[in-house]
Amino acid sequence: KRNVLIIGAGGVAQVVAHKCAQHNDILGNIHIASRTVEKCQQIVDSVQEKGSLKTAGDLQAHALDALDIAATKALINKTQSQMVINVGSPFINMSVLQACIETGAAYMDTAIHEDPDKICENPPWYANYEWQRKQLCADNGVTAILGVGFDPGMVNTYAAAAVKEDYFDRVESIDIIDINAGNHGHYFATNFDPEINFREFTGRVWSWQNNAWVKNKMFEVKRTDDLPVVGIQTSYMTGHDEIHSLSHHLDVPNIRFWMGFGEHYINVFNVLNNLGLLSEQPVKTAEGLEVVPLKVVKAILPDPASLAPNYTGKTCIGDLVKGTKNGQEKEIFIYNISDHEAAYEEVGSQGISYTAGVPPVAAAILIATGEWDVSRMVNVEELPHRPFINLLNDMGLPTRIKDEDGDRPLHF
């Protein structure tokens, strides 16, 4: 398969565009579409300024409302794109997926579908929307790879590697730990769209424990780990898409997700939340103005993309896996370290966008070469993990493993 249509023009799309350009000898022509064509053009300009295109080829910006399925199909056909990387807002997933099903293009995304009217839906998340189209994908021979960012995405591959390689006879638990030890220099900012970011934390926190869903409150359960490079870090149990798919596809009784937050972030978040400023329900001011508090907060916070130039420090995201081997208890940590400044230097984005944006491009390459062109809908843990980890080692997201034999690069 050749030619890629990137949908969305935010921080992650910027990374996807640069990385597609670096591999356009395999991927073919590259098109970028979002509602605001100027944002797409800025990305095109930045790819050209950095000279990221590996060989001569098309790189074009387009205006598209991806909720319009007919318009999305028309653009897929016009650009002859056989692969679509959807890194737009999670509200557009189901429309873009439908356009792919009807045109036969391969589909990739990095987040679960969300309905703008429902905050923090309950598990089973993928079954609420995406998996309902599984049969349709299979009937039409459409390859759809769900959640192929970093988390979800790489961490699913790490889980698959832990279970399918020879590390354990039995895996008891997978704890996905996501630490951003970076510093953006602002009093308070979110690393991606505040609306999406806060939605992750305002509802219930779900985890998979003893083969059942367990419900907690946000910031109720925490852990502290001494992690490679970033050192001692506290993280909090958080609900996340991949817990659902991993619990479905891998026979592991305990799967949890932990996200690192500093005390300052939690304090500010709690104040905003307790005052009702994270609410999506409109309120009327004394002057008769109707406002949505969350939209106001979003409007006054720094634009996540603007954080990139001054972001310093590193991220550490990985899977801490525990189980038994030859009757002995054992644990391994499979992880990646990324650097905000290096990401900015290479593609003009901060590290969070970088870790999310590189994996879907690796996935597109594996679809193009046929290794991942499976003609059905899958989550990342269902696909061969070895080529993905190996490819990403060479694309800027190296994987390492820490176990009883030490801490070393992981390649197969």
Query: Closer to ligand NDP at the Cβ: 145 or 356?
Result: 356
**Residue tagged 């879907």 (tokens):** 360
CB of 138 to ligand NDP, least distance (A): 24
Query: Closer to ligand NDP at the Cβ: 110 or 238?
Result: 110
Query: Closer to ligand NDP at the Cβ: 34 or 52?
Result: 34
CA dihedral of 56, 61, 62, 66, whole degrees rounded to 10:
100
CB of 336 to ligand NDP, least distance (A): 11
Dist. CA 319–CA 150, nearest whole Å:
12
In degrees and rounded to multiples of 5, residue 191 shows phi and psi of: -80, -20
Residues that bind ligand NDP (CB under 6 A): 7-13, 34-36, 39, 64-67, 87-90, 92, 110-111, 149-153, 192-193, 196, 304, 352-353, 356
CB of 8 to ligand NDP, least distance (A): 4
CB of 113 to ligand NDP, least distance (A): 9
CB of 42 to ligand NDP, least distance (A): 10
In sequence order, what DSSP letters do the residues of 222-286 get, joined into one string?
A: EEEEEETTTEEEEEEE---HHHHHHHHHS--SEEEEEEE--HHHHHHHHHHHHHTTT--S-EE-T
Dist. CA 219–CA 269, nearest whole Å:
11
Closest by alpha carbon to 91, among 116, 120, 128? 116
The residues with which 179 forms a beta bridge, in sequence order, are 316
26 Cβ contact list (under 8 Å, min separation 6): 365, 368, 369
CB of 96 to ligand NDP, least distance (A): 8
Query: Closer to ligand NDP at the Cβ: 8 or 182?
Result: 8
78 Cβ contact list (under 8 Å, min separation 6): none
CB of 327 to ligand NDP, least distance (A): 36
Dist. CA 141–CA 127, nearest whole Å:
20
Q: What is the DSSP letter of 186?
A: S
Query: Closer to ligand NDP at the Cβ: 43 or 330?
Result: 43
Query: Closer to ligand NDP at the Cβ: 167 or 388?
Result: 388
Query: Closer to ligand NDP at the Cβ: 67 or 138?
Result: 67
The residues with which 128 forms a beta bridge, in sequence order, are none
For the record, the structure tokens of 181 come out as: 């030890």
Establish how many alpha carbons lie within 13 A of residue 85's alpha carbon, considering only the half-sphere containing its beta carbon.
34
For the record, the structure tokens of 269 come out as: 């978040």
CB of 106 to ligand NDP, least distance (A): 18
Beta strand spans in 217-253 (E): 222-227, 231-237
Closest by alpha carbon to 124, among 206, 234, 9, 31? 206
Query: Closer to ligand NDP at the Cβ: 286 or 300?
Result: 300
Query: Closer to ligand NDP at the Cβ: 347 or 356?
Result: 356
CB of 246 to ligand NDP, least distance (A): 14
Query: Closer to ligand NDP at the Cβ: 323 or 352?
Result: 352
Residue number closest to ligand NDP, CB atom: 10
CB of 285 to ligand NDP, least distance (A): 27
β-bridge pairing 283-284 and 222-227 = unpaired
**Residue tagged 């579409």 (tokens):** 33
Query: Closer to ligand NDP at the Cβ: 167 or 354?
Result: 354
Dist. CA 53–CA 73, nearest whole Å:
26
CB of 352 to ligand NDP, least distance (A): 6
Report yes or no: 126 and 245 within 8 Å, Cβ to Cβ: yes
Q: Tell me what percent of the chain is helix, strand and coil, each rounded to the nearest 5.
A: 40, 25, 35
Dist. CA 404–CA 386, nearest whole Å:
21
